[in-house]
Amino acid sequence: MEKFNVIVVGAGPAGATAAYLLAQAGMEVVMIERGATPGSKNVSGALAFSHVYDEIYPRFWESAPVERGIVGHSIVFLGKEASVTLDYRDLAEATSPSPNPSQGAGNGAPSPNPSQREGDRSKGANAYSVLRARFDPWMAQQAEEAGAMLLPGYTVERLLMEEGRVVGIHAGGDDLMADVVVIAEGTRSQLLRQAGLRDDFNAHDVSIGVKEVIALPEDVITNRFQCMSADEGVAYTCVGHTGGVDGGGFLYTNRDTISLGVVVKIDSLYRSKRQPHNILDEFKAHPFVQRLIRGGEVVEYSAQAIHRGGVHLMPQLYGDGYVVAGSAARLLLNNVMTLRGMDVAVASAASAARAILAAREGGDYSKEALSAYETHFKQTDVYKDMVTFKDTYALMDNQRLFNVYPDLACNVMGDMFSVRERPGRKVYGALRDNMKEELSLWQMMKDMAQIGRGLVR
């Protein structure tokens, strides 16, 4: 029977990173991916936040198929017929040149002088928009070049167990054995549940994301989103106008497409008896979104489950003969401003790889030896960020965030900017008028305290 040092299940960011680091350190690694190619089954927004990626794949933006360096992030409150936007632009990054030199400036914008170009490039952007069907194969390729074997088109059907210990996997009619199995199979993560190594996930903690990719000419995107060149892009996080269902929307600019979608909580969706694609259609029909995508053609539609995130939901990350990384371990950070799953997956895989390499030294892959994974992960910035934003979990349960405040913000701003037949009011007066029966002052103060706990201090 075939035996490897390591079997990695799944070639997403977590699996590919574990395979890359372990193969690089000389371990015999096989990575099994159910998609015909890595990324073909995967759905993300997607913004890849650079910091963690850059640590593992130095200056990845120079060789990876990234779309645009993100120089603007906006939070948009969508009211019924208006919107309020909080707009952030990194104006230093806004002058940076092509993240991927082979792609050039794109829209004919003048190139900065060479010294400025070198300086900017070494910094990279805070995040890049990526398309998983292009980006995941690049990550898998890094693992293959380091010596890992990629087996695409095979679904791992079950874990092989001996005396309570994971000793291999069954896929494509064959048993494959390993010293250690890295479980990086994403949100659904059936293998551990089947093997009785974890309980079912609670629907309350899972959302569904539906996404479209909309094609538009590169220069239209560059101009419409006020970018300096085709290398720059922007990201919008939208709150409100999700048909009364708890969740939000996103819109990210790629080179010649826009990624647009909604992520809604499954239990709230179930209660609403609505379909996710209807919510996406309504979101797209909002005048704010319409203006941004007009003239575009939908070229891709996809849907996938996604954990809500929450540091308190993190399960034990290891057991005898296995580790679990990325979404399979419910690792995700959603703090309203940013949704981070890919870099969190990469960070967890890097910690797992480190523990496996230490276990190799002693030839001991027991859960005691592999517990170093969790110890190390808890020291990472990613984990610390998850702790910092732990209270956003409760915030996301507050339905007024999605159903009351976006309209309230729009109405108050509408009052402040409009000259009407009646005398104007200061913000407090406009606020009290618009709160009407929807919200008491006491309730609003409690909500502000909750927002404060989640995001402010």
Ligand X SMILES: Cc1cc2nc3c(=O)[nH]c(=O)nc-3n(C[C@H](O)[C@H](O)[C@H](O)COP(=O)(O)OP(=O)(O)OC[C@H]3O[C@@H](n4cnc5c(N)ncnc54)[C@H](O)[C@@H]3O)c2cc1C
Interaction site with ligand X (CB under 6 A): 9-15, 32-35, 38, 41-47, 155-156, 184-186, 209, 211, 261, 263, 304, 306, 326-328, 332, 339-343, 345
For the residues of 300-327, what is the DSSP string, one character each?
Answer: EEEEEEEE---GGG----EETTEEE-GG
Closer Cβ to ligand X, 50 or 222, answer by number: 50
CB-based burial label for 237 (10 Å; 0-12, 13-18, 19+): buried
Phi, psi of 284 (to 5 degrees): -65, -30
CB of 11 to ligand X, least distance (A): 5
Q: What's the Cα-to-Cα distance from 411 to each of 72, 290, 311, 385, rounded to whole Å?
A: 25, 20, 35, 34
CB of 334 to ligand X, least distance (A): 9
Closer Cβ to ligand X, 266 or 413, answer by number: 266
> d(Cα 352, Cα 315) in Å, to the nearest integer?
14
CB of 323 to ligand X, least distance (A): 12
Token pair for 316: 């034990």
Residues with Cβ within 8 Å of 134's Cβ and at least 6 positions away in sequence, in order, are: 39, 65
Half-sphere exposure of 85 (CA within 13 A, CB side): 12
Closer Cβ to ligand X, 72 or 326, answer by number: 326
DSSP element (H, E) containing 236: strand 232-239
> Measured at CB, which residue is nearest to ligand X?
341
DSSP element (H, E) containing 139: helix 132-146
CB of 192 to ligand X, least distance (A): 11
> d(Cα 47, Cα 44) in Å, to the nearest integer?
8
CA dihedral 141, 342, 102, 229 (to 10 degrees): 170
CB of 441 to ligand X, least distance (A): 36
Strand partners, 89: 72
Closer Cβ to ligand X, 15 or 106, answer by number: 15
* C-alpha closest to that of 260 among 409, 77, 19, 45: 45
Closer Cβ to ligand X, 267 or 447, answer by number: 267
CB of 283 to ligand X, least distance (A): 13
CB of 109 to ligand X, least distance (A): 26
Closer Cβ to ligand X, 64 or 184, answer by number: 184
Closer Cβ to ligand X, 185 or 320, answer by number: 185
CB of 38 to ligand X, least distance (A): 6
Closer Cβ to ligand X, 109 or 311, answer by number: 311
